[in-house]
């Protein structure tokens, strides 16, 4: 590699309202029907809630990934835990370690919140589950049971 080739710098930062279009595009890429208006509401709520956080991965001035999470406590996780509610990396950037970096940032945030566990439920049920499960296994997650759900309407 020559010295004049620039290696793109990846930055993980808090989401901003200006990221709405990019984050909405990422969610649509994996099949979530999302509008920028709804995403702005989600972002606003997240910014006001100290128990929630949303961060983006930015490379060359372009948002290429997003993670959303919130603290949770339940019988399944009696100690405070962080639940990942959203994790998407742009298809053209998958396999480059961006998801791993986003999760690592989520772990840091969780520790700062006094949490002892990081979990995700329904891991990526809208994209290829085999790939999603392999990703989570590679970065140290362990599968623990199954989730059952029932629609109320």
The class of domain 10-138 in CATH terms is: alpha beta
Contact assessment for residue 44 and residue 36, using Cβ atoms and an 8 Å cutoff: no
Q: For residue 87, give the nearest of 55, 62, 63 by alpha carbon.
A: 55
Q: What's this model's pTM, rounded to 2 decimal places?
A: 0.81
Rounded Cα–Cα distance for residues 22 and 11 (Å): 15
| CA dist list (Å): 79 to 35, 74, 119, 131, 140 | 35, 8, 12, 29, 19
Q: What is the pLDDT along the chain (153 residues), one digit of tens a residue?
A: 445 567 778 999 999 999 999 999 999 988 888 898 999 999 988 888 999 999 999 999 999 999 999 998 777 667 888 999 999 999 899 889 999 999 999 999 999 999 988 888 765 444 456 677 777 778 887 777 666 565 666
Dihedral sign computed on CA atoms, order 71, 114, 47, 23: negative
CA 31 from chain centre, in angstroms, equals 15
Could you tell me where the beta strands, DSSP code E, fall in 7-150?
10-14, 52-59, 62-72, 81-89, 117-119
| CA dist list (Å): 39 to 21, 105, 109, 144 | 9, 21, 21, 30
């Amino acid at each position: 590699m020559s010295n004049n080739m620039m290696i793109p710098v990846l930055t993980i930062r808090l989401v901003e309202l200006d990221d709405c279009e990019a984050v909405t595009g990422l969610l649509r890429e994996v099949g979530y029907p999302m509008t920028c208006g709804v995403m702005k509401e989600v972002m606003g709520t997240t910014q006001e809630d100290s128990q929630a956080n949303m961060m983006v991965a930015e490379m060359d001035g372009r948002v290429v990934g997003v993670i959303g999470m919130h603290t949770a406590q339940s019988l399944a996780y009696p100690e405070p835990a962080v639940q990942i509610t959203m994790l998407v990396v742009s298809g053209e950037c998958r396999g480059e370690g961006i998801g791993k970096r986003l999760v690592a940032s989520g772990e840091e945030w969780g520790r700062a919140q006094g949490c002892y566990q990081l979990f995700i439920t329904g891991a990526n049920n809208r994209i290829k589950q085999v790939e999603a499960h392999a990703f989570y296994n590679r970065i140290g997650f362990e599968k623990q049971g199954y989730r059952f759900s029932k629609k109320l309407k």
